[in-house]
Amino acid sequence: NNIQVTPDELSGALRQEAMRYRGQEQQVIDFFRKNPEAMENLRAPIFEEKVVDFILELAKVAERQVAPTELSEA
């Protein structure tokens, strides 16, 4: 379970963020590269998504029928 954000994934997120600021793409890229905290804000959601995907892979889901009264008792 060696979950990591790859440099390619981080670069893709940086490109997407830069595209949100038409005409200022290079300034946005420079800002993120010079500010580790800002770069972490790009990395964190990617990492979180990978962790959730990993947990869902391990989860054992069992569907069953539940009566409405049983739900209200819970």
Residue 18 lies in a domain: yes
- For residue 66, the model assigns a pLDDT of 87
Which residue range is the domain that position 34 belongs to? 7-65
Distance of CA 70 to the CA centre of its chain: 35
CB of 3 closer than 8 Å to CB of 50: yes
- For residue 72, the model assigns a pLDDT of 82
DSSP letter assigned to residue 24: -
Q: How many domains does the chain have?
A: 1
Residue 16 lies in a domain: yes
**Alpha helices by DSSP H, the chain:** 7-19, 25-34, 36-58, 68-73
Q: Report the amino acid identity of residue 34.
A: K
Tens of pLDDT, residue by residue, the chain (74 residues): 799 999 999 999 999 999 999 999 999 999 999 999 999 999 999 999 999 999 999 988 888 888 888 888 76
Residue 2 lies in a domain: no
pTM: 0.74
Identify the sign of the CA torsion 15, 16, 17, 23. positive
